[in-house]
Structure 1
Amino acid sequence: MFYVLGCSSRPRRRLDRSDYRARGYKKLGIKWFRGAPFEAAVPAPLQLRLLPLEDGNPDHAEYMPPYIEGCSNYFFRDDLLQTLFACGVDNFDTYPVEISDPDSGKIYTDYKAVNIIGAVAAADMEKSKYLLSDGIPLIDVSFEELVLRKDEIQDLLVFRLAENLMTILVHESVRKALIDKGFISGVDGDAIEFYKTDEVAIL
């Protein structure tokens, strides 16, 4: 079984996307969502900044999760990456980042930017329920219910869905490893959440 990688609503620190744009990173031709190796060079390290904490904002908290989403990508903490590698994930290109905290002045260096290599056209379009925005079943298909063709996936444990490139699918063995290592509990409110493909809408 495969699960859709998702973000919980747990209050946490968040990235400053305007700072990312101001640094010119979007003009470098780095497309994290394509599932392919980069042709352009990635600055080392990528310089990122957290949004300042806002008192009274229910989405904000001091909590630094094992991965941070934003700027069209996921940034995985080193201990999380080591767990993923240990359970057999081998299709990540990783890049060093420095995440600065404007409140404390602290710089986090224990995260990596991750390019997931592998965009697989694994959706069974005859059995899935979906809506096409442009008549082409690739890149941005909206799924009400996703049924996978397992033969297309082969031995990948984590991959992007070619029919909806913002969707990352994760094998159940990876989810179990994260539960065993204490990264998630498997219930609502986890920093990392996984949804069954037939129980979540993919937009």
Structure 2
Amino acid sequence: MYYRMDWKVDFAAQGLEMVATGKTPVTGVPWTMGVRYPKPVPQPIRIPLDKRSGPVMPDLLAGLPIFSARLVEVLHAAGVSNLDLYDTEVVDEVRNTTYTHFKAVNIIGRVSCADLAKSVSVPGHAPPLMEFEKLVIDESKTMGLPMFRLAEAVQMILVSETVKQAISDAKIVGVRVVSLDDPSAY
């Protein structure tokens, strides 16, 4: 079974303040396309925090995406090996703090595994930018990968049961892993 992984977490319900990045720098990396970038990327990638962000940092920041070293460790331990990682500095100008334990992450691999006959898509959207009201995965096409981008909707990161459990067991902050049967996945 596969799940959607994202950052659409209710921070207030967890007792946390919102954390968001400010203007994301242009790096040339096609972050959502699931392909390796062939040119060197200047590192560290400096990313400012939105000035309204709270002081507690989650393990995933929207944007490039940006994962904490802890989340990267959990993913590697769960068998995820298709991540290109870039050193990143997340700069909190309000608190005069720079966080260096984050990596900008390019998830390598797009898998075309949406069962379009059983899924419900939003009209007017075509691959690789489809939107779904209900997504059904043909698991025979996933090659057993623990984590990948959906080729039909590259903004969607899908993870296996093993990865879902590892994230839950590690009590990762600011990451939501939700069943594709749950309407909030869309």
- State the TM-score, normalized to the length of structure 2: 0.89
SS in 2 for 1:133: coil
CA contact (8 A) 2:179 2:185 kept: no
Name 1:199's counterpart in structure 2.
182
Q: Which has the larger radius of gyration?
A: 1
- Does 2:141 match 1:152? yes
Secondary structure of the structure 2 residue equivalent to 1:32:
coil
Give yes or no for the alignment of 1:178 onto 2:148: no
Cα–Cα, structure 1 residues 67 and 170, in superposed 2: closer, same or farther, change >3 Å? same
Residue 179 of structure 1: SS of its match in structure 2?
A: helix
Q: How does 1:40-79 map to 2 (within 5 A)?
A: 40-53=39-52, 60-70=53-63, 73-79=64-70
Letter in 1 for 2:21: L
- Name 2:22's counterpart in structure 1: 16
Q: Is the 8 A contact 1:12 1:65 kept in 2?
A: no
Distance (Å, rounded) in 1 between the aligned partners of 2:70 and 2:175: 14
The letter for the 1-side match of 2:90 is I
Is 1:163 equivalent to 2:138 in the alignment?
Answer: no
Alignment partner, residue 57 of structure 1: none
Q: Which runs of 5+ in 1 are unaligned?
A: 54-59, 184-189
Deviations 1:85-138 (A, max 9, x none): 01111110100001111112111100000000011111001111112415x4x1
Residue 112 of structure 2 is matched in structure 1 by: 121
How much does 1:178 deviate?
Answer: 1.6
Question: How big is each residue's C-alpha offset from its partner over 1:26-80, in whole Å with a ceiling of 9 and x where there is no partner?
Answer: xx53210000001232111101111113xxxxxx42220011112xx21111011
Tell me the amino acid that sits aligned with residue 75 of structure 2: L
Deviation at 1:199, TM superposition (A): 1.9
AA in 1 matched with 2:37: F
Greater Cα offset, 120-129 or 39-48: 39-48
Aligned residue pairs total 180
2:75 matched residue in structure 1: 84
Gap regions ≥5 residues in structure 2: 12-16
Inter-partner Cα distance in structure 2 for 1:65 and 1:29 = 25
CA RMSD of aligned residues (A): 1.7
SS of residue in 2 equivalent to 1:34: coil
Aligned residue in 1 for 2:31: 32
- Return the letter of the residue paired with 2:103: K
Q: Which residue of 2 aligns with 1:187?
A: none
| DSSP 3-state at the match of 1:9 | coil
User: Structure 1 118/169 Cα, relative in aligned 2: closer, same or farther at 3 Å?
Assistant: same
| Structure 2 equivalent of residue 5 of structure 1 | 5
Distance in structure 2 (CA, Å) of the matches to 1:201 and 1:120: 22
Contact 2:119–2:136 (Cα < 8 Å) also in 1:
yes
